[in-house]
Amino acid sequence: MMNPRFFCPQPLAPRSLAELPAATAHHALRVLRLGVGDAVTLFNGKGGEYPGRIVEAGRTVRVQLAEWNSLERESPLDITLAQALPSGDKMDFVVQKAVELGVARIQPLLAARSVVRLSGERAERRVEHLRQVAASACEQCGRNRVPEIAPILDLRQWLGQLAQDNEIQRLLLSPQGGRRPRELGGNCFLLLVGPEGGLGAEEVSAARLAGFADLSLGPRILRTETAGPAALAALAALHGDI
């Protein structure tokens, strides 16, 4: 059984004493009911992890670290998920499951049919929240590198600034059909998923002009929060580490 894992975005060193961030310490003590002597694992997102034991569990929680362990659990696939923001808390689900399935980075987008409209400080707060969701997912699934959650961009703006890269396969998840995951090769993918109601005709045209080809996940129409994780799972099973 895996020891409780905590993301600590701070410098960590072998045989040193590390103090857990306040929110993490609260979770360790009040939710997980951990105490002095309990074994834990810390990681800071730079790669690898540090096993350790809690040596202080009061106003602060301190962990005595052992040697650094270079263990990685990253996918051999390099996949970016570009997800048009869905309504409610569905984006939390998308981020959580995408991280568990090995996504390398996530680009939140505002599409014409997006119900959620965010800008300025509200957009920044949402991105910071999604980064915390990604870190928590890494704690749960064993990843030691937290996938990047990029700032929210307008879909058309994002398409217009994509750099040319022939090694990346650009794929638009489409209910109208297209290539199947088993027909793909390579290990570098960019997946584009529309919001509830799908992408508009002009957005689809802009995506195709930017080099996106249709990808089909079968004859059934998937919800926006299902499509991305389903594509990640299919690619991982056919070309990755599942």
- The per-residue pLDDT of the chain, averaged, comes to 94
Residue 121 has pLDDT above 90, yes or no: no
* Amino acid identity for residue 206 in this structure: A
Q: How far apart are alpha carbons 92 and 81 in whole angstroms?
A: 14
pLDDT of residue 167: 86
Q: What average pLDDT does this structure show over 66-77?
A: 96
Summarize the confidence of residues 26-48 as an average pLDDT. 95
Which burial class, exposed, middle or buried, applies to 64 when counting CB atoms under 10 A from its CB (0-12, 13-18, 19+)? middle
**Does this chain's domain 5-65 share its CATH topology with 78-239?**
no
Q: What is the mean pLDDT of residues 90-103?
A: 97
CATH assignment, 5-65: 2.40.240.20
pLDDT bracket for residue 163 (50, 70, 90): confident
CA distances from 123 to 117, 118, 131, 196 (A): 9, 5, 12, 19
pLDDT for the residue numbered 127:
95
Delimit the domains of the chain by residue range: 5-65, 78-239
Report the candidate in 73, 71, 129 with the shortest Cα–Cα distance to residue 101. 73
- Taking alpha carbons only, the member of 128, 127, 105, 102 closest to residue 116 is 127
For the segment 133-148, what is each residue's pLDDT rounded down to a tens digit? Answer: 999 999 999 999 999 9
- Give me the mean pLDDT over the 124-141 stretch: 96
Lowest mean pLDDT across 48-62, 92-106, 117-131: 117-131
- Calculate what percentage of the chain has a pLDDT beyond 90: 84
Tell me the average pLDDT across 10-15: 95
Give, in words, the CATH class of 78-239.
Answer: alpha beta
